[in-house]
Amino acid sequence: ISFIGIISVILSLELVADILCQHTIHSQLSTKRIRRSSPAECNDACSGFYLGCFDDRGQTCDEGGHNSPIPGPRDLPLFASLRDTSLTIESCLQMCRELDYKYASVQAGRYCHCGDKFGRYGRSKSTVCDRPCTGNGTQICGGSWANSIFTV
């Protein structure tokens, strides 16, 4: 892992508990559905191949609003960006490419994760990945605890 990757992991670990708690709350607020992007609809700006919508797990909030672990690590372990207000599929692919990972995932419209393996929790229904990307509302960036996975 590169120096940038190590720093990203350290910063991610410090922020992840609060952000995931907020993510769970905020991700339930969006109900807007838009047409899914597919590899066939991509132009030259799409650099990754869409592999599908996959379940994720990690840490979530308990009934008292406190962080409570649930079984299993994240499907793609590296948080490349958290709460990104300008996330696009392309920007996530670029971050994961620079960190030398094989796969990129976008989740809940604003999170980018990277990793070399995916799918440990199985495939989701395609309708679960329904969140528009914060940086391009015509693209779909995963869903609530669901990753749109791309090759880097």
pLDDT class of 100 with cuts at 50, 70, 90:
very high
Check residue 118 and give its pLDDT.
96
Question: Any residues with CB less than 8 A from the CB of 97 and at least 6 apart, and which?
Answer: 47, 104, 152
Per-domain boundaries in the chain: 3-151
Check residue 80 and give its pLDDT.
87
Q: What is the pTM of this model?
A: 0.63
pLDDT tens for residues 30-59? 222 223 344 444 443 445 899 999 999 875
Distance (Å, whole) CA 92 – CA 121 = 21
